[in-house]
Amino acid sequence: MSEMTGKAESIDWQRLPQGDELFRFSFEDGRVRGVSLRLETTWQAAIENHDYPPAVASLLGQAVAGAVLMVASLKFEGRLVLQFAGRGPISLLVVQVTSDRRFRCMAKWDDERLAEAGDHLEEQLGRGQLVLTIEPEDGARYQSLVPIAGAGLENAIEGYFQQSEQLPTRLVLAADDEVTAGMLIQQMPETGGIVPTAGAAARGFEHVGKLVDTLLGDQGRREMRQVSAPELLHRLFHQEALRIHDVARVAFNCGCSREGVGQMLTSLGREELEATLDSKETPDVIEIRCDFCGSLYRFDRVDVEQLLTSDSVEPPESTRH
């Protein structure tokens, strides 16, 4: 799309998509940039085969929005992986996002312990670390460990940008089992890569930051879930010189397939596969459910024999459910 520039009220908001897109924007002379997104259909597709409790859906949705916003803010080609592993009722959160904004996600939790936990993040996740991994197509893999005990996912991601990118960042995330949304703003460096801590640039970031901070709290997060990303930008920044630079689609894409699962099973070897087929729990069939999308793949004895005896044989017709 062509760039839209001017006071927010002068932007033709009808031209902006109202669906599952992210919006890159900036203010005045580009000293502050931002990204905003709201995912509804895409988010529901990602979790439709999972029965996530509300607390799990909320945290996983926030992780998805945060990871997608990070990818939109970083210049690289490849994949970003956000993962939390801990000892709390919610023991695992994983989000993988490619640089072309395709994502998949998963979570693991304990129902009984989660029912006894409170609403605080530390009670739900327990002690643990957020691991951010950037896997570029070319170049070295980069990993950052960010503690999140006592803080939100927002604070952890803000800390990453402050420590690893040296960019002051404000981030607000909101999610439930219907919608996930987020907004990120950053103060940009000046000539020489230095981010000023005083002067007009710093004051501009603090001003925009205070506007974004109005989304903190239950009412603000509810607003993020209820209104489209363009409408939220208009409500927050209608008095600012706002530029919409880019609108980009976000998509859920697991990438699993029956062929890929079959290759994994083949690598286990005949002895282990036959032992699984002889098990009392699921006799004569091997069932593999994808942790990311929830798809179920079934292989009976004939399927397994075909996998083991001929790599050249095409996989049988899918019995995906």
262: burial class by Cβ within 10 Å (0-12, 13-18, 19+)?
buried
Q: Which residues contact 191 (CB under 8 A, 6 or more apart)?
A: none
Mean pLDDT of 131-147: 88
Q: What is the pLDDT of residues 61-91, one digit of tens each?
A: 999 999 999 999 888 899 999 998 888 899 9
What average pLDDT is seen over the chain?
A: 84
Residue 315 within a domain: no
Q: Which residue has the tokens 């409790």?
A: 53
Domain count, the chain: 2
Residues 275 and 154 in one domain: no
Distance CA 251, CA 100 (A): 9
Residues 171 and 293 in one domain: no
Residues 39 and 118 in one domain: yes
- Residue 15: pLDDT band (50, 70, 90) is low
pLDDT at 280: 67
pLDDT at 318: 45
- Residue 320: pLDDT band (50, 70, 90) is very low
Q: What's the CATH code of the domain at 292?
A: 3.90.1280.10
Residue 314 within a domain: no
3-class secondary-structure state, position 176: coil
- Residue 313: pLDDT band (50, 70, 90) is very low
Question: pTM for the full model?
Answer: 0.83
Instruction: Determine the structural domain holding residue 143 and report its residue range.
Output: 4-252
Residue 93 within a domain: yes
Residue 215 scores a pLDDT above 70: yes
Residues 238 and 109 in one domain: yes
Last residue of a domain, one of 252, 283, 298: 252
Last residue of a domain, one of 252, 285, 301: 252
Residue 9 scores a pLDDT above 50: no
Name the pairing type of β-strands 169-175 and 180-187: antiparallel
More confident residue, 231 or 313: 231
pLDDT at 11: 58
Q: What is the pLDDT of residues 253-271, one digit of tens each?
A: 988 888 888 888 988 888 8
Choice among 16-30, 227-241, 302-316 with the minimum mean pLDDT: 302-316
Strand blocks (E) in 153-240: 169-175, 180-187
Last residue of a domain, one of 228, 252, 276: 252
Residues 148 and 268 in one domain: no
Mean pLDDT of 37-65: 94
Q: What's the CATH code of the domain at 25?
A: 3.55.30.10
- Residue 145: pLDDT band (50, 70, 90) is confident
Cβ–Cβ < 8 Å for 33, 185 = yes
Residues 209 and 80 in one domain: yes
Residues 265 and 288 in one domain: yes
Residues 167 and 302 in one domain: no
Distance CA 293, CA 280 (A): 27
Residues 299 and 238 in one domain: no
DSSP string for 9-54? GGS-GGGS--SSEEEEEEETTTTEEEEEEEESHHHHHHHTT----H
